């Protein structure tokens, strides 16, 4: 694909206006979300009365991409040999899971299933078994379903087209954009939590983005995209890495930030949210914990497991039964006659 010509001054001015308009819309939406979240008890975004106008995206691209070129982590899914399938596997695993926990499972997964067809020919339960303790194991079933669809519909190759990616089982807008951008170098707005936080602070001037991605955030992300595909792809990866390493949710490192001098939130004096403090998700004592304990027993077993064995993993029978029923309903556990259970074969 040939690189498109650089935009004229008039086009650049128009893009800057779109960026400023999108940032204003994001601030307005954040105000509405902030009021609603405060009423609901969630932590809203804090906005000042006079935030600075959003900088044009072109002023952010070069410093962030240059920083990325120097400081990016050497992660296996960023290496050329990972290929589109490696990128897709990483995107499934990294959802709500830290890199440190993903790395060993990712490497074992790709060693066992280097192509989608390799995974597709295995039982879904083997994907759940290999998922280990990454959490949210339905992701394993969805990744297996995507591998089957890639094998059946696309000859075993991860599709390059964003629409075709979006049509795969278990693939949402974020994952489709991430694979298209990171695997194929296409121009897409890739909005994960880290990117949203960078944009919220640097452009919108608030400490945190809304709890759920808004239309205004998507509009802003599109407005900030560089015009040419290679730069847009680098920008997507670089802004994500900046949020992961520097512009973190807590204890941000503004002294290491390449765009600190342009950051709207920093220039406004780093106003804090005025709602309740954010709290991490609880795990101890929840159904998620019980589900994890039940799955751990089934992963280690290579024969159907009797109900009596599963009964020993949790002391509270009602919660244990509810968790097991949920695993069955989600397709993660297959019940058999005689009170036996196993990971799914189909």
Tokens read off for 266: 């920093």
> In angstroms, rounded to a whole number, what is the distance separating the alpha carbons of residues 191 and 185?
16
Contact 16, 56 (CB under 8 A): yes
Cα 294–Cα 298–Cα 303 angle in degrees, nearest 5:
150
Burial of 304 (0-12, 13-18, 19+ CB in 10 A): middle
Angle between helices 83-94 and 138-153 (to 10 degrees): 160
**DSSP letter, residue 248:** -
| 3-class secondary-structure state, position 143 | helix
Where b means 16+ CB within 10 Å and e means fewer, 241-273 reads bbbbbbbeeeebeeeebbbbebbbbbebeeeeb
Quick one: residue 8, left, alpha or beta (phi over 0 = left, psi -120 to 50 = alpha)? Answer: beta
Within 10 angstroms of residue 168's Cβ, the number of other Cβ atoms is 24
Edge-first strand listing for the sheet containing 334-336: 305-306, 340-342, 334-336
Tokens read off for 99: 């890199």
For 334, phi then psi, to 5°, come to -110, 120
User: Per DSSP, what are the bridge partners of residue 336?
Assistant: 340
Query: How many residues belong to the chain?
Result: 346
**Catalytic status, residue 126:** no
Catalytic pick among 29, 37, 91, 334: 91
Contact 137, 295 (CB under 8 A): yes
* Residues acting as catalytic residues: 91
């Amino acid at each position: 694909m040939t690189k498109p010509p650089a935009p004229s001054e008039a086009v650049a001015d128009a893009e800057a206006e779109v960026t400023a308009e999108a940032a204003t819309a994001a601030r307005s939406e954040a105000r509405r979300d902030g009021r609603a979240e405060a009423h609901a008890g969630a932590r809203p975004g804090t906005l000042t009365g006079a935030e600075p106008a959003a900088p044009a995206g072109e002023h952010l691209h070069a410093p962030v991409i240059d920083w990325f070129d120097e400081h990016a982590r050497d992660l296996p899914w960023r290496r050329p040999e990972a290929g589109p399938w490696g990128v897709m596997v990483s995107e499934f695993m990294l959802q709500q899971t830290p890199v440190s926990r993903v790395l060993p499972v990712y490497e074992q997964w790709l060693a066992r299933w280097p192509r989608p067809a390799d995974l597709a020919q295995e039982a879904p339960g083997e994907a759940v078994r290999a998922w280990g303790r990454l959490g949210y194991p339905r992701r394993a079933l969805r990744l297996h379903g995507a591998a089957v669809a890639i094998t059946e519909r696309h000859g075993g190759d991860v599709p390059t087209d964003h629409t075709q990616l979006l049509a795969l089982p278990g693939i949402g807008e974020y994952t489709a954009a991430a694979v298209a951008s990171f695997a194929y170098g296409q121009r897409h707005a890739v909005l994960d939590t880290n990117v949203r936080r960078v944009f919220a602070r640097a452009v919108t001037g608030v400490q945190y983005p809304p709890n759920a991605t808004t239309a205004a955030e998507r509009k802003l992300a599109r407005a900030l995209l560089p015009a040419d595909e290679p730069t847009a792809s680098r920008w997507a990866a670089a802004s994500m890495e900046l949020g992961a390493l520097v512009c973190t949710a807590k204890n941000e490192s503004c002294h290491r930030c390449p765009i600190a001098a342009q950051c709207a939130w920093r220039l406004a004096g780093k106003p804090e949210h005025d709602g309740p403090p954010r709290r991490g998700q609880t795990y101890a004592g929840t159904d998620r914990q019980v589900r994890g304990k039940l799955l751990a027993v089934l992963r280690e077993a290579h024969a159907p497991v009797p109900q009596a064995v599963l009964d020993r993993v949790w002391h509270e029978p009602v919660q244990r039964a509810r968790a097991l029923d949920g695993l069955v309903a989600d397709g993660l556990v297959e019940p058999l006659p005689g009170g036996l259970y196993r990971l799914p074969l189909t």
